[in-house]
Amino acid sequence: MGDLSGDDRESLRRFSPRLKDLIDEMLADLQEIRIHCDRCLRTERYRGNVVLMLVDASFTSIGLNYFKSIVPKIIEFRDRFGMRSLKELANAKIENLVEVWRNRRSWSVAIESARYLMTLSENDREALRLWAKSSRLENWEEDPIGKIKGVGIITYQYLRMMGGIDTVMPDKIVRRVLSEIFSEAGIETPKNDVEFIKFIEMIAKQCNCRAIELCWASWLLQYEEEERRRYLQILNDL
């Protein structure tokens, strides 16, 4: 069970039946999320447009509401600039891009990430997947993308997910939702981000699901059912 202590492993063995029931209940009404996660892990979000994946990750990093604030701006960027290659993004001028999204650091993250990924392959999708496959959670700040100013562990993990890695982002919503479930099962949630990520990856394996599913489900469960269904449809349309 990874780097967990003996006490943690014993706790999980002791409460695992209850924990699995809670996880199964969490995912039961979100079967569609698996379709979205499949596409994410195949690097097929936004119809395979890696530019939009980078823009998504760079916008999401500042913590605004994903469906109400970020997705509309991604669509506006897509419709206004029509970029389909990392080369276009790498050569873009921030002065033009801020007309859609004012946060210059977000654009800097997207542009610098594009410039690095271009060095890995001429195929954008392959470039992101090559990077994600070679990326490591430990010492993530020493990674070429992790070193980019403005890239935190949430952005780093989000890009790894879209590059094909079954993992989770340690953002406040995911932490809150999953911590409540674990607490109900009598399990304490790690406070350190890296340990939290490892913990969720291990929990997912034990409960026969995927870490990425727990991540996206956590985001959706904060909404009422009608709104949740609408956002699920948005995800599957992107």
pLDDT band for 37, please (50, 70, 90 cuts).
very high
Structure tokens at 57: 């990750």
SS3 74: helix
The per-residue DSSP string of 127-149 comes to HHHHHHHH--STTGGGSTTTTST
CA of residue 23 relative to chain centroid, distance = 19
How do the domains of the chain map onto residue ranges?
A: 6-38+169-237, 46-162
Measured at the alpha carbon of residue 41, what is the angle toward residues 29 and 194, in degrees to the nearest 5?
Answer: 90
Do the Cβ atoms of 157 and 197 come closer than 8 Å? yes
**Which region among 14-18, 82-86, 124-128, 178-182 has the lowest average model confidence (pLDDT)?**
14-18
Distance, CA of 9 to chain centre: 26
Q: Dump pLDDT digits (tens) for 144-187.
A: 999 999 999 999 999 999 999 999 999 999 999 999 999 998 88
Q: Which of 15-19, 34-38, 83-87, 106-110 has the lowest mean pLDDT?
A: 15-19
This prediction's pTM = 0.91
**Positive or negative torsion for Cα 210, 60, 148, 192:** negative
Q: What is the dihedral of CA 59, 213, 38, 204, to 10 degrees?
A: 130
Q: Which residue did the predictor score with more confidence, 30 or 9?
A: 30
Please determine, for residue 5, whether its predicted confidence score (pLDDT) is greater than 60. Answer: no
Q: Which of 154, 164, 155, 141 lies closest to 196 in space, CA to CA?
A: 154
User: Given a cut of 70, is residue 221 above it in pLDDT?
Assistant: yes
CA–CA dist 48, 109 (Å, integer): 20
- Give the list of residues 6+ apart from residue 69 with CB closer than 8 angstroms, or none: none
Q: What is the CATH number of domain 46-162?
A: 1.10.340.30
